[in-house]
Amino acid sequence: MTHKEFIEVIAKYVIKYASDYGIKVHSPIIAQAILESGWGGNTLASKYNNFFGLKCGGSWKGKSVNMATKEEYTVGTLTDIRANFRVFDSIEDGVKGYFEFINYSRYSNLKGVTNPEEYCRLIKADGYATSSTYVTNLMRVIRDNNLTRFDGTQENVEKEKEDMVSGDIVGTQLTGAEIIELLAKEVIKGRYGNGSERKQKLGELYPIIQKRVNELCK
């Protein structure tokens, strides 16, 4: 999976679930997935669908895996430890699991926050991560990848619509039905090619978009 594809997949599920848990900003969470999982490449993410370094804690009743990790309990000093981490069955479950994790009372101050940097500072202060550079690193990832385009202002929503029409599939504030309808019409216009080219451009959305295309062309 390319970096662009990883962002698109994570963003889609972040946007899908965030509002259900009172979370109003998306870019810091996408950045956390990138930072914590190494773009989905570490074992915890690629094998166990845990993209956020979520440890089990006392209340977790699901599957788990014991793995080595590092914590920065003292600034500048990394300590090797082993910990039990949550295991999820799919990417979507892994992202939803993040929101279930931050639904604990210790993270209640995240609800309603709309500023990405404020969200990063609060979740660090709440004890989510021990890294002394966590906020700085998250903000760098947000800036370097223009992740604020996924945040929920009307201006950004309109930009996402334009990106989709030009052929750049991104996570969006549109409803699922609107996304399908818009992309299906763009496919009919020929903007996504045919056969393998269309499958490559649409990625995991291909089956459902193609089904709608077939319905429209009857």
Domains of the chain, CATH where assigned: 3-150 (1.10.530.10), 154-216 (no CATH)
The Cβ-side half-sphere exposure at 142, using a 13 Å CA radius, reads 23
Q: What are phi and psi of 85, to 5 degrees?
A: -115, 150
Q: Is the dihedral of CA 131, 133, 139, 142 positive or negative?
A: negative
pLDDT tens digits, one per residue of 27-85 = 999 999 999 999 999 999 999 999 999 999 888 999 999 998 888 887 778 888 889 99
What's the pLDDT score for residue 177? 66
Cα separation of 141 and 192, whole Å?
29
Q: What is the pLDDT of residue 178?
A: 66
| pLDDT at res. 163 | 53
Instruction: Give the predicted TM-score (pTM) of the model.
Output: 0.70
Low-confidence ranges of the chain (pLDDT < 70): 153-178
pLDDT attached to residue 176: 59
Q: What is the pLDDT of residue 204?
A: 72
CB atoms within 10 A of CB 175: 9
